[in-house]
Every structure is written in structure tokens, then in C-alpha cells.
Homo-oligomer: A and B are copies of this chain.
Amino acid sequence: MLVNTRTVRIEWGDCDPAGIVYYPRYLAFFDACTSALIERALGMTKHEYLKAYDFGGHPLVSTRARFLIPTRFGDDVTIETTIGAFRRSSFDVRHRLLKDAQLAVEGFETRVWVQGAPTRGTMKSAPLPPDVIEKLSRG
């Protein structure tokens, strides 16, 4: 499977009064990393790939995360993102956030590939295009 690696600087504004990351920010990092993985596999920005595949996005069905080591502003962390599994119209994404080469946060997402616009209430799942699966599966 393709692995995308991104370095993120934890900013002052990502942290809460305890001085550590406000955890919803991790989920925002992970969301951007999922897009970055797909962007890299397809060689397009998200803006481009939504158009190219004429679809409405890949919203979450479920997510879970484990927080092992706190991170704080000034830390540079590395996030490794890869696909866990493909199903007909959904897929799993795994994120490993490393601080000083140690696993600090682990995230798991199940996402669905949707056609139509959620805002118009026309959102429905659609099969993942075979070439998307193929490109995300390359090592």
C-alpha cells in the first residue's frame, strides 16, 4: 500500500490551556493527511480529484483514535497515512502520528465514497473507481 508521510509543526493555536494539542486538531490533521494520500496517489489536488471523478467527497462513517504521548507547541511530528482496507464503496484509513520516532497518536477512519451533494440531500455511496483502488494500492 502507498504510504504518505507528512511533517506537521504543532502550533500554539493547536494547543489548549494544558499546553498540549487540543485533540480535535489531531482529527483535522488526519483529515488533511487522508486527502494528501489520495492527492499523491492520483497526482491531483483534492479540488481536482473531486472534479475528475465527479463525486462529492469521502465523508466519515466512523473514526477512532488512541492518544499515547501528548504533543505540545513547537513539536514537529510525523504522520504516516495508508489505506487499511477497501470495500465496494467504502475504505479504511490508518494514521500513525510519531513524535521522536515513537507512536504518539493512532487514528482509524472508515470513509465512504459518495456521489452527489450532501447539502442537497442527494448524497449516496458509490463504488470506488478501480483505478483509484489500484493507485492507492501501489507501494
Interface residues of A (CB under 8 A from B): 9, 11-13, 15-20, 22-25, 27-28, 31-32, 35, 45-48, 56-57, 59-67, 70, 72-74, 117-119, 123
- Beyond A18-B118, A59-B18, A64-B65, is A31–B47 a contact (Cβ under 8 Å)? no
At the interface, is chain A mostly helix, strand, loop or mixed?
mixed
Residue in B20, B60, B66 whose beta carbon sits within 8 Å of that of A118 in the complex: B20
Nearest CB in chain B to that of A56: its residue: B18
Contact: A20 with B72, CB < 8 Å? no
- Residues of B contacting A61 with CB < 8 Å? 66-67
Expressed in whole angstroms, the minimum distance between the Cβ of A61 and any Cβ of chain B is: 6
On chain B, the residues within 8 Å of A59 by CB distance are 18, 20, 23, 67, 70
Cα A119 to Cα B63 with chains together (Å): 27
- Bound Cα distance from A19 to B22, whole angstroms: 12
Give every chain B residue within 8 A of A117 (Cβ-Cβ): 18-19
